[in-house]
Structure 1
Amino acid sequence: MRHNQGAPGARVLAFGGYQPANVVTNDHLAKTMDTDDEWIRSRVGIAERRVAGPEESEVDLAVAAGGKALAASGLPASDIDLVIVATCSAEALIPNTASRVAHRLGIEAPGAFDINAACAGFCYALSAASDAIRAGSANHVLIVGAEKMSQWVDWTDRTTAVIFADGAGAAVVGPSDTPGIGPVAWGSAGDKADAIYVKDRSSFLHQEGQAVFRWATTALHPVARLACERAGVRPEELAAFVPHQANLRIVEAIARKLGAEQAVVAKDIVLAGNTSAASIPLALSRMIERGEVSSGGLALLLGFGAGLTYAGQVIEIP
């Protein structure tokens, strides 16, 4: 039996992000539930979020973000031979999202599959893409985190409606002579899986906010440090820290415990809300667009969410 030999390393070539046009502010939500701007900002740090209309699916969001990442990479669609979509809000499980996204972007006959690791999904997909390239199973990979969380949220329930939002973020990953994506540090806490769940097809998302907050602020900074250790990088060498945008208080607590004071910390949560698997690539793409981070710098990505799943890795910023 023959085994393919892939590239020595893999790296992210480009990012792209997309948000729906419809902005929902805290004042909008205060008209339909018992809440106000101060209550929301003090607890989760969110000022506004984007919500897709009924005519815009998670596939549409993924195509928009994926198209931007592909254009930024400078590669033709014909160079992509694997498409991975991370999502936990697909409107239908069959067919998968990845094959439809590939078709609409003009990517012919790629490998295509979805990953559901909830809010950690993008980091899981990035690790899978890196491994596929280094193993010789793929040469260039398009990965997309895309979520339409609004269709799974009860918009009268302030414990979830004030947090979740819609959007997509994407990256193109390619071969490299030197590593541009560090080894993943990942895992799960299945004993806490009932902290975030959707019971069945006719139910809305349920979240035990305090339980998730306690877990995230105590269990995840060691994972972040382990990802740095596996990449051979000290936290003080990081140019950016891009955790899942779950809650501003969680983001700030993990960043403080990580001890990377010099790093730019992503706080996309304020204007984008929690977009689950889309939040990390969406946040980093916006940081790149605004010039907050420079090409060649090191960024620590850290995803975590329902499952409870988590994953982190250090990447070189394209």
Structure 2
Amino acid sequence: MQGSRIAALGHYQPAEVLTNEDLARMVETSDEWIRARVGIRTRHIAGPEQPVDHLAAQAASKALAAAGLAPADIDLVLVATSTAVDRSPNMAARVAARLGMASPAVLDVNVVCAGFTHALATADHTLRAGAASRALVIGADKMSEVADWTDRGTAVLVGDGAGAAVVVPDENPAGTAGVGPVLWGSVPEMAAAVRIEGTPPRFSQEGQSVYRWATHRLPALARQTCERAGIDPSDLAAVVLHQANLRIVEPLAERIGATRAVVARDVVDSGNTSAASVPLAFSKLLERGEIASGDPVLLFGFGGNLSYAGQVVRCP
């Protein structure tokens, strides 16, 4: 069975920026309070005319252009999201329609903040099995639509955006451009620690529980992910975690021995964009030239359910 690789990345964020000072006029908070607890400075907010599939299609178009492919070249679309409003048509079908695709398989993946890494693993497995030839994997969420803007504990966290990857067969599975084996799982007894529920749906979480789990469990899981890929953490060029909290993101590379890795800190400028956070941060690192083609990068998503999934990939 052949492997797969990421051929290109793309990302998109709405133009409107909400600062900590703006939030301080909406709820009882301050720039100092927010930065001290989660490290966030700004976040991007989508308007009513920018639904989830709009965000997703914008990122997808950029990834396709970077890969030199047309929408008709894609036969599998996976959209990781937890903020789709309607049950049908799903976000993947809406993105396919926006892009004018021919007849792709269209699946949504709802694993909340770990959605993109789950979807990437699913695409990798599908290509390995020969059930698809080229896949478009997108993480997109409009968290502002499910935020409780009167709750300073969660309102300060969220942002909107999308990131996308074009995944193609790897002609040299043992080479330097592959998608590595996934390490995934969940903690069912903590499934309610992150919630988007109710009518209308609202985001809430047990922040301290998630923080304790992430700081205590993530390092070992990240090391196991590297082991599955056959790479020592010291050889990683970058670490891209779900961008939940700067206090979780920053220490991880050192704790797993990724001493030379660039650590994605997009949470500072984008907030928590849920399923979009990993591809969004990854795409920005590549766009800024902080990582180069062929570099090994650890991707790791975690959050709702409490689910997690990670893999080591090579930069396109």
Normalised by the shorter chain, which TM-score bucket?
over 0.9
Correspondence for 1:33 among 20, 27, 37: 27
Correspondence for 1:166 among 149, 160, 166: 160
Residue 286 of structure 1 is matched in structure 2 by 284
Q: Distance in 2 between matches of 1:269 and 1:250?
A: 11
Q: Distance in 2 between matches of 1:198 and 1:111?
A: 27
Contact 1:122 1:281 in 2 (8 A): yes
Q: Distance in 1 between matches of 2:253 and 2:260?
A: 11
5+ residue gaps, structure 2: none
Contact 1:186 1:223 in 2 (8 A): no
Which AA in structure 1 matches 2:191? A
SS in 1 for 2:120: helix
Q: Distance in 2 between matches of 1:205 and 1:176?
A: 38
Which AA in structure 2 matches 1:39? W
1:241-280 C-alpha deviation (Å, 9 max, x unpaired): 0011010001013223111021000000000111000001
Correspondence for 2:270 among 272, 277, 281: 272
Superposition map of 1:1-318 within 5 A: 8-179=2-173, 180-318=178-316
Figure out how many residues of one structure are paired with residues of the other and give that number: 312
Contact 1:188 1:308 in 2 (8 A): yes
State the Cα distance separating 1:9 from its structure 2 match: 1.1
Q: Distance in 2 between matches of 1:105 and 1:199?
A: 30
Identical counterparts, % of pairs: 55
State the Cα distance separating 1:219 from its structure 2 match: 1.0
Which AA in structure 2 matches 1:279? S
Residue 3 of structure 1 is matched in structure 2 by none
Contact 1:15 1:69 in 2 (8 A): yes
SS in 1 for 2:84: coil
If the length of structure 2 is used for normalisation, what is the TM-score?
0.97
State the Cα distance separating 1:194 from its structure 2 match: 1.3
Q: Which deviates more from structure 2 when the two are superposed, residues 191-200 or residues 293-302?
A: 191-200
State the Cα distance separating 1:199 from its structure 2 match: 3.0
State the Cα distance separating 1:198 from its structure 2 match: 2.4
SS in 2 for 1:10: strand
Q: Distance in 2 between matches of 1:172 and 1:23?
A: 28
Contact 2:253 2:261 in 1 (8 A): no
Q: Which deviates more from structure 2 when the two are superposed, residues 265-274 or residues 71-80?
A: 71-80
Contact 1:164 1:274 in 2 (8 A): yes
SS in 1 for 2:298: strand
SS in 1 for 2:310: strand
SS in 2 for 1:172: strand
Which AA in structure 1 matches 2:120? L
5+ residue gaps, structure 1: 1-6
Q: Distance in 2 between matches of 1:78 and 1:311?
A: 29
SS in 1 for 2:180: coil
